[in-house]
A and B are shown apart, each in its own frame.
Chain A
């Protein structure tokens, strides 16, 4: 009797899930994971015999599995409640704050990063070249979690980039300067960082009164990685004359954007608000500017919320994201004026420095 019940329930489960998975239409994206899901792979003689089809079919069946999100939640609950594991999918939560666990420095990535920066800076005739490192929020927590050796990382970079000026911002941030559900810093909390960078680059201090606008439903990049019932973050952005009067030219699309693209708040990643999200090459022209200075920033997504606050000091800010445009392409085609006497800033978050192969 027991085996009969077991046999029948087993058959019901595998057959019903398999039928549902065939009937259910495929989904395009997974919102919690912020990515496209696999569709039925290309099927032909070549893909069958080189094994590609089967490999992709495996991914396809998992990614389009019925009730996938529920199963992922079940897994999270089981590890958390049954096996009492606090970390899930590489993310650890403490006091509503999400930490992505990273414990080792990737030396090859650091070398690659240093080579890339050195190659690019050698093309500039200007002597006003600076760099800064943005710590990830794990640096600021008192929790006993694995951390990378920050001192060693900074030391290695300092030693290898001696001929350009380092702007240390480690002591200008706090744990509270970062979103709880995301890896990025909060724009409203980086005033000290902006001042430090501006001062180092020989600018007169300017005090700006910003108007704050907020968006209450910011679910950051770490939120979907771990089943949880935490509250979303509030995303605050700072408005002043400069941000209103600046037009942002997207080089790739040859189209103008606003500094804050408010319709992007509804995107999967609300952080796309800042400068319209991931963009290869942007030129910000501040008509309101009281100076003639120009700045080129080589940056990752942290730079998107930083750049608007540097507008008071510059007439023109060029933003380069090497994840989306190749440095050789920029150099060979002179997409930036390399001979201008401008300020140049390399500013990257440690997550990118430690995984720099995405930079080209």
Chain B
């Protein structure tokens, strides 16, 4: 089920809220678990079995690892199982294809990837590793653990929530108008990012991609709107997850921190999909030696981590290249560039955003000749005119939404802190949120069904 659907907003959510708030404290986790399983079942009826297996399997391994003397063996068995399942469903086809290409065979197998498997596998393994390291205690009962792993706000597209983050809240949590209202606000903002901005930019990119005569400008508009679209789509999803979490008394960590205003690639990755990059940092980069090793080893570690980060996004070569592409800039920055960038404020923004825009050209195209052609055209090596009637037509139609997106991708924390106690603002803010909710409903009703970009990850 997607959040930006009538089914979720006007059927699933009200029903869940009623049951949740009518039930006594003891049963609240059970309600959440049942509704989360239903939420998953709705989009992936058959594969619910994998999710349930993951709950039971990891719960018992958590217990086992905590008590056993042979912690390491159980840890290894567990990681092999978890990543084995992920590998089978997400990467097996990819490896088969590549083997076929190398030894000229033609094996094929039809595998559909269960929604959200990358996310819940990473949550489960973080839980297991944290127990192994003694960082957390295992969940008291299977209900607690299953509620954690399946929690519907973050189940299918993140953020990747660590057990330690919500450990206390799984036992006891309070919801009042203050937290619920914060949740509503956050949720509606996320919904608006997805429905009012990301989807509309998707339309623009789609329209420009199919026009007969392409231009340099049309390539730039596509690249820019794709970047904005991914940001608004994905961060909108995280906002909705965080908002829903608040409505039910959970406080998830932030997943995005205005990445498009980053001043370097290093800075960008501190602000983009934070729960994923910190997962890789804690469970791959640091175990490899992290930054406390020689420069050469450190660069090797960066390359490894970013290659896997890329590969996590999808079973295709372009994602690996996308990760390595970032790794190269991260290494260059660590070596010397960061010091230079610090001195040039505007230049550092331009440099970062350009690298990010180009990265999503790679991200969005699985075929390397498509990537090359697109970049050639973008930078004027493709014998294209600068613009034409079609490009101008779409630019005129969408210029305002692009500007809105750019303005909304910046941080207004300081202004917000200053005006948040202002009476007029306090009066207007709820009205704006409700108007946004109605607008989103109108957009959803108008466009009917639309899947999230990040759904198959």
Q: A83-95 vs B: 1/0 string, CB under 8 Å?
A: 1111101000000
Stretch at the interface among A69-77, A174-182, A342-350: A69-77
Give the CA-CA distance A7 to B183 in the complex, in Å. Answer: 9
Contact between B442 and A78, CB atoms less than 8 A apart: yes
Nearest A-chain residue to B213, judged by Cβ: A149
Question: A11 within 8 Å of B by Cβ?
Answer: yes
Within 8 A of B (CB), among A260-312: none
Contact between B210 and A83, CB atoms less than 8 A apart: no
For B433, what are the chain A residues with a Cβ–Cβ distance below 8 Å?
6, 10
Centre residue among B44, B46, B181, B445 by max chain A CB count within 10 A: B445
Question: A24 within 8 Å of B by Cβ?
Answer: no
For A203, what are the chain B residues with a Cβ–Cβ distance below 8 Å?
none
Contact between B10 and A58, CB atoms less than 8 A apart: no
Within 8 A of A (CB), among B274-305: none
Question: B79 within 8 Å of A by Cβ?
Answer: no
Question: B110 within 8 Å of A by Cβ?
Answer: no
Question: B182 within 8 Å of A by Cβ?
Answer: yes
Give the CA-CA distance A131 to B119 in the complex, in Å. Answer: 58
Within 8 A of A (CB), among B9-51: 9-11, 13-14, 17, 42-46
For A87, what are the chain B residues with a Cβ–Cβ distance below 8 Å?
397
Q: A74-B439, A85-B400, A103-B212 are in contact. Are A61 and B181 (CB under 8 A)?
A: no
Contact between A146 and B10, CB atoms less than 8 A apart: no
Q: Name the distance in Å between B206's Cβ and chain A's nearest Cβ.
A: 11
Contact between B389 and A75, CB atoms less than 8 A apart: no
Give the CA-CA distance A17 to B444 in the complex, in Å. Answer: 14
Question: B448 within 8 Å of A by Cβ?
Answer: yes
Question: A211 within 8 Å of B by Cβ?
Answer: no
Give the CA-CA distance A146 to B394 in the complex, in Å. Answer: 9
Question: A206 within 8 Å of B by Cβ?
Answer: no
Contact between B400 and A54, CB atoms less than 8 A apart: no
User: Which among B45, B399, B437, B449 is the interface contact of A13 at CB below 8 angstroms?
Assistant: B437
Contact between B212 and A75, CB atoms less than 8 A apart: no
Give the CA-CA distance A255 to B16 in the complex, in Å. Answer: 56
Main secondary structure on A side of the interface with B? helix
Contact between A83 and B434, CB atoms less than 8 A apart: no
Q: Name the distance in Å between A100's Cβ and chain B's nearest Cβ.
A: 13
Centre residue among A7, A104, A148 by max chain B CB count within 10 A: A7
Contact between A2 and B400, CB atoms less than 8 A apart: no
Q: Name the distance in Å between B186's Cβ and chain A's nearest Cβ.
A: 11
Q: Name the distance in Å between A222's Cβ and chain B's nearest Cβ.
A: 16
Contact between A14 and B445, CB atoms less than 8 A apart: no
Contact between B400 and A51, CB atoms less than 8 A apart: no
Contact between A65 and B400, CB atoms less than 8 A apart: no
Give the CA-CA distance A146 to B204 in the complex, in Å. Answer: 13
Contact between A5 and B449, CB atoms less than 8 A apart: no
Give the CA-CA distance A2 to B434 in the complex, in Å. Answer: 12
For B394, what are the chain A residues with a Cβ–Cβ distance below 8 Å?
146
Q: B237-266 vs A: 1/0 string, CB under 8 Å?
A: 000000000000000000000000000000
Contact between A74 and B434, CB atoms less than 8 A apart: no
Nearest A-chain residue to B398, judged by Cβ: A85
Give the CA-CA distance A13 to B207 in the complex, in Å. Answer: 34
Give the CA-CA distance A85 to B442 in the complex, in Å. Answer: 16
Contact between A71 and B10, CB atoms less than 8 A apart: no
Contact between B7 and A145, CB atoms less than 8 A apart: no
Question: B147 within 8 Å of A by Cβ?
Answer: no
Contact between A83 and B439, CB atoms less than 8 A apart: no
Within 8 A of B (CB), among A206-220: none
Q: A71-B445, A74-B439 are in contact. Are A7 and B212 (CB under 8 A)?
A: no
Contact between B430 and A144, CB atoms less than 8 A apart: no
Contact between B7 and A61, CB atoms less than 8 A apart: yes
Contact between A18 and B211, CB atoms less than 8 A apart: no
Q: A17-B10, A18-B14, A49-B45 are in contact. Are A103 and B426 (CB under 8 A)?
A: no
Q: B370-393 vs A: 1/0 string, CB under 8 Å?
A: 000000000000000000011011
Question: B184 within 8 Å of A by Cβ?
Answer: yes
Contact between B445 and A75, CB atoms less than 8 A apart: yes
For B11, what are the chain A residues with a Cβ–Cβ distance below 8 Å?
18, 61
Question: A120 within 8 Å of B by Cβ?
Answer: no
Give the CA-CA distance A86 to B392 in the complex, in Å. Answer: 13
Q: A18-B14, A61-B6 are in contact. Are A68 and B445 (CB under 8 A)?
A: yes
Within 8 A of B (CB), among A10-51: 10-11, 13-15, 17-18, 21, 48-51
Question: A253 within 8 Å of B by Cβ?
Answer: no
Q: B182-218 vs A: 1/0 string, CB under 8 Å?
A: 1011001000000000001000000100111000000
Question: B317 within 8 Å of A by Cβ?
Answer: no
Q: B170-189 vs A: 1/0 string, CB under 8 Å?
A: 00000001101110110010
Q: A65-B6, A85-B400 are in contact. Are A3 and B437 (CB under 8 A)?
A: no
Contact between B401 and A104, CB atoms less than 8 A apart: no
Contact between A13 and B434, CB atoms less than 8 A apart: yes
Question: A199 within 8 Å of B by Cβ?
Answer: no
Q: Name the distance in Å between B84's Cβ and chain A's nearest Cβ.
A: 25
Question: B5 within 8 Å of A by Cβ?
Answer: yes
Give the CA-CA distance A301 to B281 in the complex, in Å. Answer: 63
Give the CA-CA distance A99 to B449 in the complex, in Å. Answer: 25
User: Which among A1, A21, A85 is the interface contact of B397 at CB below 8 angstroms?
Assistant: A85
Q: A6-B184, A18-B11 are in contact. Are A145 and B393 (CB under 8 A)?
A: yes
Question: A236 within 8 Å of B by Cβ?
Answer: no
Contact between A62 and B444, CB atoms less than 8 A apart: yes
Nearest A-chain residue to B182, judged by Cβ: A3
Question: B404 within 8 Å of A by Cβ?
Answer: yes
Give the CA-CA distance A147 to B13 in the complex, in Å. Answer: 44
Nearest A-chain residue to B183, judged by Cβ: A7
Give the CA-CA distance A4 to B397 in the complex, in Å. Answer: 39
Contact between A103 and B211, CB atoms less than 8 A apart: yes
For B164, what are the chain A residues with a Cβ–Cβ distance below 8 Å?
none
Contact between A50 and B45, CB atoms less than 8 A apart: yes
30 contacts between A and B (CB under 8 A): A3-B180, A3-B181, A3-B184, A6-B430, A7-B181, A9-B430, A10-B188, A13-B434, A13-B437, A14-B9, A14-B10, A17-B441, A51-B43, A54-B45, A58-B6, A59-B448, A62-B6, A62-B445, A71-B446, A74-B442, A75-B439, A83-B200, A83-B400, A85-B398, A86-B397, A103-B210, A103-B211, A103-B390, A146-B211, A148-B212
Known: A3-B185, A62-B449, A145-B393. 8 other contacts (CB 8 A): A3-B182, A10-B437, A17-B10, A18-B14, A74-B442, A85-B400, A87-B397, A145-B389
Residues of B whose CB lies within 8 Å of any CB of A are 1, 5-7, 9-11, 13-14, 17, 42-46, 177-178, 180-182, 184-185, 188, 200, 207, 210-212, 389-390, 392-394, 396-401, 404, 426, 429-430, 433-434, 437-439, 441-446, 448-449
Residues of A whose CB lies within 8 Å of any CB of B are 1-7, 9-11, 13-15, 17-18, 21, 48-51, 54, 57-59, 61-63, 65, 68, 71-72, 74-76, 78-79, 83-87, 89, 103-105, 144-149
| The 6 residue pairs across chains A and B that have the minimum distance between CB atoms | A3-B181, A146-B390, A74-B442, A75-B446, A75-B442, A6-B430
